[in-house]
Amino acid sequence: MKQLVLDLALPEPEPFSDFSPGENAELLFQLGEWAGAAPHARFVYLWGEAGVGKSHLLAAAARRGSALLVDAAREELPNEVAPDALLAVDNVEQLDRAGQETLFAHFNTLRAGSGSLLSSGPLPPMLLPLLPDLATRLGWGLVYQLKPLSDADKTLALQGRARQLGFELSAEQADYLLRHAPRDLASLYRLLAQANELALSRQKGVTSGLLREILHPRDA
């Protein structure tokens, strides 16, 4: 029988603590400001290619600010928001016309009150297939490109995440993951969590062999 390890699971890391900033230090600072409802950072839009960590950062900012988080690729926006609400909307390019009109109305509600909006997409607002008025609103606040991390930064991020899970990841092990696993941080973090759970169930450490077993189970 597989050993139960749920009671050994560590709590979620402090928001942003498991994301290596790389060239995104200013963006991370402003996300913290947004989560703290700072007046100058009420409206923030971040964009970047798939896999750079947009969803991860939106979730972290929403968690820190106790905000409502909506993934437009999978969920619908609420019909109404309070004027003082913190609203985070991921994948705004996935909104249909009705969703775009709703988000436009929410923006105006939040702007008239003391609320805040954090949103993200793959391109700058004016290059997205959105209603012109909504694209303009999304570009009114702070707009940042989330730049990809270098391999060195990803290694630091992986080692930091492993440390939060309770084990040490060597540079060689991190390099192996970067060469053989999906390179986006969300996938890499899931692999670390899987490796940690398997190691705990066996009452052993996370070894290079265990990582190979997870990535290439047929060869194990």
The residue with greater pLDDT, 203 or 7, is 203
Q: Which two tokens stand for residue 105?
A: 């109305």
Band the pLDDT of 149: cuts 50, 70, 90: confident
The architecture of the domain spanning 25-145 is: 3-Layer(aba) Sandwich (3.40)
Residue range(s) occupied by CATH 3.40.50.300 in the chain? 25-145
| Architecture of the CATH domain 149-219 | Orthogonal Bundle (1.10)
Structure tokens at 138: 């999304």
Indicate the range of 16-20, 35-39, 58-62, 100-104 predicted with least confidence: 16-20
Distance of CA 72 to the CA centre of its chain: 14
Helix (H) or strand (E) holding 196: helix 185-202
What are the residue ranges of CATH 1.10.8 in the chain? 149-219
Strand, helix or coil for residue 43: strand
Mean pLDDT calculated for residue range 11-20? 60
Chain segment 124-143, per-residue pLDDT in tens: 999 999 999 999 999 999 99
What percentage of the chain carries pLDDT values higher than 70?
A: 90
C-alpha torsion 82→67→100→148, nearest 10: 160
Closest CA to 114 of 172, 55, 39: 39
Give residue-wise pLDDT tens across range 25-75: 999 999 999 999 999 999 999 999 988 889 989 999 999 999 999 999 999
* Nearest-5° Cα angle at 159, 187 to 167: 100
pLDDT band at 9; cut points 50, 70, 90: very low
SS3 assignment, position 143: strand
